[in-house]
Chain A
Amino acid sequence: DSGVTQTPKHLITATGQRVTLRCSPRSGDLSVYWYQQSLDQGLQFLIHYYNGEERAKGNILERFSAQQFPDLHSELNLSSLELGDSALYFCASSATGPEQYFGPGTRLTVT
């Protein structure tokens, strides 16, 4: 158990809908990262937050947004969902070093 929690575990929704994925980092970690894992693209970095501020963006679609709250939990919002958004979404957290610890993921299925 990495200490990173994610909810929900599974999410099934229709095209065009909006969903919110939630992540709680390990106790004391200020950084939260979001990654997307799909069969064709592998694990891809989406976005990094540090203590509430956005630090870096990857190839994150404009339909996707994230935020980190004062209690350090983070949410990833996905809107106008398309079939191609079906994937595993992971969040990871880190303290001051390079180690990133991953949560169990949210499996999103868009039908």
Chain B
Amino acid sequence: QKEVEQDPGPLSVPEGAIVSLNCTYSNSAFQYFMWYRQYSRKGPELLMYTYSSGNKEDGRFTAQVDKSSKYISLFIRDSQPSDSATYLCAMINTGTASKLTFGTGTRLQVTL
């Protein structure tokens, strides 16, 4: 079983929809929870991160962490075709190392 699980999709939504992307994890030592966006054949781009539990909002993006359920989410409001990409969750266990442990990524397609 992988430490971080993420539905690979693809997820197809119409423009303007609210998108919900999720990851579950098994290692309770994870402290930082990151979301990256990756366009095809490009490097991952950091969208936002959260420390421990709680919510964080940045423009159209909201990240939520529920450590009790080992479940994290990224919500995208008013989705745009330019949001079409693969979204990767990643986590850091600062007790051992600063490496990122990634989910497999969810491919999102926002249609006109």
Q: B-contacting residues of A (Cβ < 8 Å)?
A: 2, 4, 31, 33, 35, 42-45, 48, 55-56, 58, 88, 90, 92, 94, 98-105, 107
Query: Is B78's CB within 8 Å of the partner chain A?
Result: no
Tally inter-chain residue pairs, CB-CB below 8 A: 64
B side interface size, CB within 8 A: 25
Report the nearest A residue to B33, measured CB to CB.
A98
Please state if B49 and A56 are interface contacts (CB–CB under 8 Å). Answer: no
Chain A contact surface mostly: strand
Point out the residues of chain A lying under 8 angstroms from B97, CB to CB.
48, 55-56
Please state if B46 and A90 are interface contacts (CB–CB under 8 Å). Answer: no
> Which of B41, B44, B46, B49 sits near A43, CB closer than 8 Å?
B44
Query: Is B98's CB within 8 Å of the partner chain A?
Result: yes
